[in-house]
Structure 1
């Protein structure tokens, strides 16, 4: 399995997961043009996609769907309540709208959604299985529940939210109501929360972790990586060996081979 985070952040999110015989786009929060450009850099195209999975209905995860589905007629899978809450559903061809239940098989990939805590209709993370490899994708969650910990355990690859530095958020320019939303159990995961989540998980000998959905206002890549690395090191984890950390960006693709 290969994972490429095409874009990550409040301005738009999209991730490509490639299996042996299936290519999946997770969220489509950037333009079709940009998705096409990023895929071309990876040597593939939109016509190679087998489907789109949506984590939830917020605009930074669905903004590119209308053009993408009208031009390419790709199937889009998400929870029934997410479809009901999606303002742009009427702009998507009906044959592209597919309900996502407890599991889905696309080619050799087995896909299992799991519930997460976020202020959306029925938000989910995803587990992908192929042969002995497991990949977990979970962003936009305010709190890591026990069920989420179980879902993330023993993953080979993980895309995990590290949205904000708590001090930067508290001292930043956002109105207090927005700060409260971000810090709530249905908001976004801080760098510290991401670090402790990784430290407390059952892990394999090595896990590749993308730190995702970094706030441009309330975080910096170096702060996110240093905070998570420090927590892991304090808990006896060898960063770079036991866990390899990768940063994601709003304006360019991040891949494991970088």
Structure 2
């Protein structure tokens, strides 16, 4: 059975990723409004009725801004670590909130979601692997550097959302203050295009079919720059730049599928 994936939005203005099958799905992060989430899914032919849970990677506002209304409106269970909840400053929930622990799989129907630690400047940040029937999709964003957890899981994925936050030259020559540049470049900041490319070239598995480049900086990166960089090394992997303004198409990911776009 295939998995279907899309980025509903990706960037500092909001992050939300959809992973599902024919009957159920999960959202990774909820950084755009409930209305915009519903609108974008409708345009893609995706039903909110399929969404069974929301998983939160960390407490930064671009990952939780839309959570209270979205979870309340559709009464969706939310999974996040205790520290993430404590630092989120979210209002008392009117939806169920469950603890998230590293390497403790959570089953949502046929989907299995496993969180694992990552390096980022948040209280207890995690990335995710979503699996079904041997097909694995990873969400690797907001990462300062590729730790062993990231490398190990990336090397097993059929598809991945991978952060390519900044072009090193654009950041160095840009208008950001020195302190902010240092924070972005630190091991608890964000992945550069070259860091992400190194991870892709050295650790992608032969069965990887889709790579969605995610969380691009508005000021310090360019979709054209990063697309050209990765496509030069794609070697059969379909490379897609996830937008900070709109949803991507829905992509079908399967153990034996060649890269393709699908509407479900």
TM-score (norm 1): 0.92
* C-alpha contact (below 8 Å) 1:66/1:91 kept by paired residues: no
* C-alpha contact (below 8 Å) 1:192/1:228 kept by paired residues: no
How many Å separate the matches in 2 of 1:37 and 1:194? 31
Relative to structure 2, which stretch is displaced further, 49-58 or 202-211? 202-211
* C-alpha contact (below 8 Å) 2:23/2:50 kept by paired residues: no
* C-alpha contact (below 8 Å) 1:76/1:96 kept by paired residues: yes
- Name which of 176, 183, 186 aligns with 1:184: 186
CA-based RMSD of the aligned residues comes to 1.4
Displacement after TM superposition at 1:20 (Å): 3.8
Aligned to 1:63: 65
Is the counterpart of residue 245 in structure 1 residue 215 in structure 2?
Answer: no
Aligned length: 248
How many Å separate the matches in 2 of 1:13 and 1:126? 14
> What pairs up with 1:1-258 in 2 under 5 angstroms?
1-88=3-90, 90-93=91-94, 95-101=95-101, 102-230=104-232, 232=233, 239=234, 241=236, 243-255=237-249, 256=251, 257=261
Aligned to 1:236: none
Higher helix share: 1
Q: Could you list the runs of 4 or more consecutive aligned residues of structure 1 that deviate by over 6 angstroms after TM superposition?
A: none
Displacement after TM superposition at 1:131 (Å): 0.7
| Residue deviations 1:198-221 (CA, integer Å, cap 9, x gap) | 111150234310000001110000
Helix, strand or coil: the match of 1:120?
coil
* C-alpha contact (below 8 Å) 1:159/1:209 kept by paired residues: yes
